[in-house]
Structure 1
Amino acid sequence: MKLIGGTFLVLFFLVTSSVNAQTTPKYSNEFLSIGVGARALGMSNAMTSVVDDVTAAYWNPAALTDIEHRYQFSFQHAAYFQGVANYDYLGAAMAIDSDSHLGLALIRLGIDDIPDTRLLFDDQGRIDYSLIDFFSTSDVALIISYARGVSLIGGENFVQGGGLTFGVNFKVVRRSIGPFAKAWGFGLDASAKYQVDAWNFGIMIRDITTTFNSWTIDKDQLRNSFSQTNNEIPNNSLELTLPKMIVGASRSFNLYTDIDVLVSTDITFSFDGRRNVLIPNRIASVDPSFGFEFDYQDKFFLRMGMGNFQRVKDFTTGDVSTESTFWTFQPNMGMGIQLDEFKIDYALTDIGNVAESPYSHVFSISYSLEPLAAIYAKNKRRIRKKNQENDK
C-alpha cells in the first residue's frame, strides 16, 4: 500500500505539472541539466542506473550507497562556448553506516568580466573607455543528498550488492545577473535504484515539488537605460521549474577475461510543454540517450554515447518556400583511468560540431579515502562477475 500511495503521489505531481506547463517557462534552471563528471558526459549522460560514485548526488542520490569508500571527493572544470562560460563542480560523499550515505554537490555556471557600457560616454558626450565597468552573471546550486537502502524489495541482499535504495536531494539555488537582478530558489529531487543480478534500474524525479526562484530586480540600476530605449522595467517575479522524470536501465557484459562492456540507456520525460526532442509532445516530451563503457580490469575505461536528438531546419536548400528538416544527434566519447585512490576521467563532447556550441574538453578527478570493509561494501565487481558466471 505504501508503494501504491507513493506512486499515486508522484503521478499527481507530474500530471499537475503538465497542466501548469502552459504558463510556466521552459528551460528554467537549465544549468542544472548540463551534468557533472566527465564519465557521464562521455556516455551522453545515460547515468541514472549506472552512477556509483560521488556524482550520484547529482545523477541519482539513491546510488550514493554504491560508493565503496567512507569518503569520496570529486572536482570538475569545463569551459564552454570557447571559454566564454565556465562550469565548475565540487562534490563530496560520506558513508554514515552500512546502508546510508550523505552527499554534497556545489555547481556554478558563470560568465565573468562582462563589460557594462552604460556609462561609456562622459558628461561632454565623448567616449571614455575608462568609465566601462565589468560584472558577472552566475548560476549556483548547492545540493544536499541522503540515500538509504531498504529491506522492502530484495533488501536482504543489499549488503551483497542487490536490493532497493532510495535517495532525496534538497537544492538551494542562487542566481545573479550582475547588480541588476538576483534570485533565491529551493527545490527537492527524489530517486530510487534497484539492482537485481547483473541488471541495474534507476529513476530520478527532478524538482518533484516544483522548484521556485524568487527574483528581485534592482530598478534603480536599470531605470535610465530602459527609459532611453523605451523598454519596460521588469518586476520582481517568481520563476517555476516543473518536474522532470528520468528512468534508466543498464547491464554489464563480459567480453573477454578482464574486458567488460557496460550498456546503459536513459529516457527523460519533461513536462514543461513541447520540446525539440525525439518524441515531442505537449504533455510530456521524451528524450532518450545511450551510453557504452568498456573497461579493462576496472582500471582503464573507454566510453562513448549518443543523445540530444533534435529535428533541425535545413538552410542549405536555398528554397525558402519549403521548410525542410532533418534529424541530428550528439555523439560523445571519453576515457578514464583508475590510479589507486585517484580516478581521472576525460570527455570530448559535441564531436563533429553537430550542435550550435563548439565542442568542449571536460576533465574530472575523484579521490577516495578509507575503503569500506567487506561487510559494508557491495563489492560490485565481484557480484557482477558471479552473476555473469551464473548466467553462463
Structure 2
Amino acid sequence: MKKRLFLALLLFSALLHAQTTRKYSNEFMNIGVDAAAFGMANAVIASSSNVNSGYWNPAGLVNLEDNQLALMHASYFANIANYDYGAFAMPLDDQSAIALSVIRFGVDDILNTTQLIDEQGNIDYNRISLFSTADYGITFSYARRLPLEGLDLGVNAKVIRRIIGDFASSWGFGLDAGLQYRTGNDWMFGVMVRDITTTFNAWTIDEDEFATIQNAVPGQNQELPETTEITIPKLQLGMGKKWVFHYDFALLAEVDLNFRFAETNDIISSSFASITPAVGLEFGYIDMIFVRGGVGNFQNITQLDGSDSVGFQPNIGVGFKYKGIAIDYALTDIGDQSAALYSNVFSLTLDWSIFR
C-alpha cells in the first residue's frame, strides 16, 4: 500500500512541476517502439522501413510493399507500469503510404488512500478506492517519395491524451517531420524532428477531486498546478549502411545523434542543446534470423558521493522472420550501466503478404 500511495503522490508531483520541466514533457512518447529497434539501441532513424517507421521516421513508410501490422508489449518498474503499442500501415501506391499508431503507458489499480481517515479521525478501509493513470499517443502518418531519386518525406500528426484518475486530464497536439535518403550503394541517411512546432498540452483539473489531495497532506499542494504544458522540439540525425556477403549474410550498421534543445545530462550539453549518440548493429542470415546489438543513452551521472561518471545503455536482441511474420525480442540496459529501467521487450510484425 505504501508503495502504491508513494507512486500516486509521485505522479501528482510530476503534474505539479510540469511547467518547470518542459524539456521532459510527454516523455512516454520518447521511449521507443519495436523490439528490433530496441536491440539496436534505437539507432534506426535512417534505416527504418516498415510499419514502425510511423514512429521512428515516417519517411520510411514508402518502402512498404504491402499492409503491415505491429504489436509490442513491455513492463516497467517491476511490472507496475505497462507499455503497449500497436500500429497499422498501408501503401497507397508506389509513391506514398499512410499509417496509424497508438501508444499507451499506464499504471492501473493505484490505491487512493486520501479518504482512508474520515472526519472523526477513524480509519475506514472501505473508503479506499482504485484509480489509474495513463498516457495515450495516437499518431497519423503520411509519407511520399520526392522528385529527387532516393529522397523520401514523412510527416506525423499526433494527438496526446493523458489521464490521472478523476483528478486531472489533458489533450495535446503536435507534429513531426522526417526525411530519408538512400543511395544506390546501400548508404542511408535520416533526419527526424519531433514536436517540430512544439507540442501543446492543455490540462483540465477537477478542483473538488484535487482538494482531496490537499486535505490528505495538510499544508501541502495548496495551489493548483499550471494547466498548460509545452514539449520542445527534438532532432535526430542518422547514418547507416548495409553490406551483403555471399548473398546469405547481411550486416546493417547505423549511428545516430539525438539532440534536445535544452540543457540535460547528455554527455554533450550546453544551454542551447544537448547531444547523445547511439550505435546499432544487425547481423542477418538469409533474411530470416537476426542478431542485434547496440549502445546508447550516454548520460553524465552524479553519484551519491558527489563524483561524476558516464552511464550508458547496452542492448542486445534477436529476431526471426518467416513468410511475413516477424517476432523480435530485446534485452535492454544489460548490466544496469545506466539509470534506465528498461528490460525485456517483445514485438510482433505481420505483413499482409502472408495471406497471399
TM-score (norm 1): 0.82
Give secondary structure in 2 for the equivalent of 1:40.
helix
CA drift of 1:73 comes to 0.3
Gaps of 5+ in 2: 1-18
For 2:138 and 2:342, locate their aligned partners in 1 and report how far apart those are by CA, in whole Å.
27
Give the distance between the partners of 1:174 and 1:269, measured in 2 at CA.
25
Per the alignment, residue 251 of structure 1 pairs with 241
3-state SS, counterpart of residue 53 of structure 1: coil
The residue that corresponds to 2:124 in the other structure is: 128
Q: 1:56 aligns with which of 53, 56, 65?
A: 53
Q: Residue 111 of structure 2 aligns to a residue in which SS? A: strand
Does structure 2 conserve the Cα–Cα contact (< 8 Å) formed by 1:223 and 1:233?
no
Find the residue that maps to 1:226 and give its secondary structure: helix
Aligned sequence identity (%): 45
Which of 296, 311, 328 is the aligned partner of 1:328?
311
Match of 2:303 in 1: 314
Write the letter of the residue equivalent to 1:166. L
Counterparts of 1:166 and 1:346, CA distance in 2: 29
Partner residue, 1:116: 112
Deviation at 1:355, TM superposition (A): 2.9
User: Which has the greater radius of gyration?
Assistant: 1
Paired residues of 2:323 and 2:353 also in contact (CA < 8 A): no
Task: Report 1:159-170 matches (<5 A).
Answer: 163-170=150-157
Cα distance, 1:350–1:84 mapped onto 2, change above 3 Å? same
Q: Give, in whole Å, the separation in 1 of the partners of 2:65 and 2:318.
A: 21
Change beyond 3 A, Cα 1:224–1:92: closer
How do residues 30-41 of structure 1 correspond to structure 2 at under 5 angstroms? Answer: 30-41=27-38
**Counterpart secondary structure, 1:330:** strand
Instruction: State the 1:129 CA deviation.
Output: 1.9
Q: 1:360 deviation in Å? A: 1.4
User: Quick one: which amino acid aligns to residue 300 of structure 2?
Assistant: R
CA apart distance, 1:66: 1.1
Distance 1:350 1:235 in 2: 34
- Matching of residue 143 in structure 1 with residue 139 in structure 2: yes
1:266 matched to which residue of 2? 256
List gaps (5 residues or longer) in structure 1. Answer: 1-21, 155-162, 374-392
Q: In structure 2, do the counterparts of structure 1 residues 308 and 101 end up closer, same or farther at CA, with 3 Å as the change threshold?
A: same
> Distance in 2 between the 1:100 and 1:248 partners?
22
Q: Secondary structure at the match of 2:62?
A: helix
Q: Work out whether residues 110 and 137 of structure 1, in 8 Å CA contact, stay in contact via their aligned partners in 2.
A: yes
| Residue identity matched to 2:308 | T
1:1-392 mapped onto 2 (5 Å cutoff): 25-69=22-66, 71-151=67-147, 153-154=148-149, 163-197=150-184, 198-227=186-215, 229-230=218-219, 231-235=221-225, 237-271=227-261, 273-315=262-304, 323-370=306-353
Aligned mates of 2:252, 2:331 — CA distance in 1: 19
Alpha-carbon separation, structure 2, partners of 1:147 and 1:57: 9
SS of the aligned residue for 2:193 comes to strand
2: distance between equivalents of 1:23 and 1:324? Answer: 26
Moved more, 281-290 or 231-240: 231-240
Distance 1:235 1:331 in 2: 37
Once residues 210 and 326 of structure 1 are traced to their aligned partners in structure 2, the CA distance between those partners, rounded to angstroms, is 32
Deviation at 1:180, TM superposition (A): 0.6
Distance 1:306 1:367, change over 3 A: same
1:302 partner amino acid: V
Q: 1:98-152, CA deviations, whole angstroms, 9 ceiling, x for partnerless residues?
A: 110000100000001110001112454332222210101111010000000011x
Q: CA deviation at 1:255?
A: 4.3
Cα distance change, pair 105–281 in 1 and its aligned pair in 2 (3 A): same
Aligned pairs, number: 335
**1:26 counterpart SS class:** helix
CA deviation map 1:185-237 (0-9, x unaligned)? 00000111110121011101001111100011111112243155223231452
Q: What is the alpha-carbon distance in structure 1 between the residues aligned to residue 325 and residue 230 of structure 2?
A: 39
Question: Which AA in structure 1 matches 2:199?
Answer: T
Deviation string, structure 1 residues 217-273 (Cα, Å, up to 9, x no partner): 1111122431552232314521001111101010012345411111101111111x2
Whole-angstrom distance in 2 between the partners of 1:102 and 1:225: 44
Aligned Cα root-mean-square deviation (Å) = 1.9
